[in-house]
Amino acid sequence: MRVGSWCVLAGLGMLGCGGVEEDVSAATGDARVQAHACAPGGTVYKVKDILPPGAPLPSPNVPVPDSLTNVQGTLYFGSDLYGDRATLWRSDGTSVGTVPVKEFIAPGPGYQGLSGFTPVGARLFFMVNASPFGRELWVSDGTGAGTRLVRDLEPGTASSSLSYLGQAGDVLTFFRNPSAGAGVSLWRSDGTEAGTFQLMAYGPDQEVSSRSLEVAGARLFTMSSTGAGTWLWRTDGTAAGTMRVKRLDAERIYLSGWARTETGVGVFTFWDSGAITEVWKTDGTPGGTVRLESFGGDVRLLGALGGHVYLSSVAGGGTALRVSRVSLAGGGKETVTTLPNRYAGQPGAWPFAQMAVRAGGKLYLSVGIGTPGPAPREVSLWVTDGTAAGTRELSRGLSTSDEWASPLFDTGAGTLLFSSNEGGTGLEPWVTDGTPERTGLVADLSPLGGSSPEAFTRVGGTVFFRAYSNTWGDALWAMPTNVACPTQERLAR
């Protein structure tokens, strides 16, 4: 059985239902892409069923397969089965080449927390609760013999509390959460016990941001405290290269968005105590970390395109969504366009930007329209080239679940993959080059109700993803990165 995108079930109870009955009168003038598949048969293929036949279906919060990760041209992923075993896998895109690397037998009931997949060079770092060590940091070179515990930071069966794994230079960096009375500390690892050690200890009142970004070979993050305010930090994985960059605010603030430009410069936003959203850029140096602009109220960072940072905010008394941009050369904000809301005036019909991705020299964003309940009434896909004339709607069929959003994924081949139910197929993979005529269904993988594709991951010329297997649970699927849609017949909007 496949749990559809409209609601999510667990056990005998309903966790939540997404979507509402659409007001048909508000949808007059709607257009639909013809729902035939635009990819030739066999272009999209199932690599392998990962869930054993008859095994309990996994929780939506711990899907199988999970944590799809590219490590120098090889796909790695995990399967974490409740009360059974967690398995690290690798795949070359074929069924016979999709094999377990190492199994971790569950020490007791529950999940083993196989997570934190982070590639560094040819190695994969991850965390797992494996007997007799507890939950600790592991590393793998893709072989069983080369998959091993890095260091038992909490000796015995006790578990370490590690978070925010990320690459800095050619090593892994991570934060070790405090024991009683201590502060968070920054660590690094080269995959060996001797090469895994603390770089910096912070005070008990200091808090690290959950967002970080790699810029110019260094990892950037923020630390906040009541007394010192909020500082941008950088680390290259060495003690000498771990330092403050610049103070961002005199108070404790939290980053609301972080992205990278095509040239590798970091851009970020935060909301300060004066109800102001500030927009900054950084190259990882004090002189190159500058405030570009500020906005009154809550503004969402969409990303960077060309020489500008793009943001969204509500307009028209909360009935429309404004897209603005700020010059990376030194500020100067301007409105690009305001997206229409065909449900304006209906209860709870406030617009919001759900997610945004840069692909093929364009910026794509999913825009939701709210309801009085937790789920949006509609989510649509828009594209912009940074001009009003180049901003258009592409699909109105994205997921309206309150627990699962349609992914947006840059194929690296000038197109965007996403999931849509437009045409009544259920949520299936779609592709677009940013034009309505070349936006369409890639393949109807599950004719009985939608395959709900997600976790798109590019490895060389292949995009791997998770979707319904049509037998039991989800499976590993793949398609070429250059999958494209020929011109589609569309009705005028």
DSSP per residue, 317-339: GGTEEEEEEEETTTEEEEEEEEE
* Contact indicator for 207, 231 with CB cutoff of 8 Å: no
SS3 for 233? Answer: strand
Nearest partner of 16 among 375, 370, 352, judged by Cα: 375
Query: Is residue 462 in some structural domain?
Result: yes
Q: Residues 225-278: pLDDT tens digits? A: 998 999 999 999 999 999 999 999 999 998 999 999 999 999 999 988 778 999
Q: Find the angle CA(446)-CA(450)-CA(453) to the nearest 5 degrees.
A: 95
Q: What is the count of structural domains for the chain? A: 1
* Contact indicator for 18, 68 with CB cutoff of 8 Å: no
Structure confidence at residue 489 (pLDDT): 53
Q: Sign (positive/negative) of CA torsion 442, 445, 446, 451?
A: negative
| Segments of 106-156 assigned E as strands | 115-120, 123-130, 134-140, 148-151
Q: Sign (positive/negative) of CA torsion 33, 34, 38, 42?
A: positive
Structure confidence at residue 353 (pLDDT): 97
Structure confidence at residue 33 (pLDDT): 38
Looking at this protein, which amino acid is placed at residue 133? Answer: F
CA distance 286 to 277: 21
CA distance 172 to 78: 20
Query: Is residue 119 in some structural domain?
Result: no
Query: Is residue 439 in some structural domain?
Result: yes
Query: Is residue 303 in some structural domain?
Result: no
Query: Is residue 283 in some structural domain?
Result: no
CA distance 473 to 64: 8
CA distance 298 to 313: 7
Structure confidence at residue 28 (pLDDT): 29
Query: Is residue 476 in some structural domain?
Result: yes
Tokens of 164: 């925010």
Tell me which residue range forms the domain holding 421: 1-60+351-367+376-384+397-493
Low-confidence ranges of the chain (pLDDT < 70): 1-37, 39-42, 487-493
Structure confidence at residue 22 (pLDDT): 38
Q: Provide the CB-side half-sphere exposure for 210 (13 A, CA).
A: 3
Structure confidence at residue 4 (pLDDT): 34
Structure confidence at residue 14 (pLDDT): 29
Runs of H (alpha helix) within 275-397 = none
Query: Is residue 440 in some structural domain?
Result: yes
Query: Is residue 90 in some structural domain?
Result: no
* Contact indicator for 348, 20 with CB cutoff of 8 Å: no
Q: What is the CA radius of gyration of the chain?
A: 23
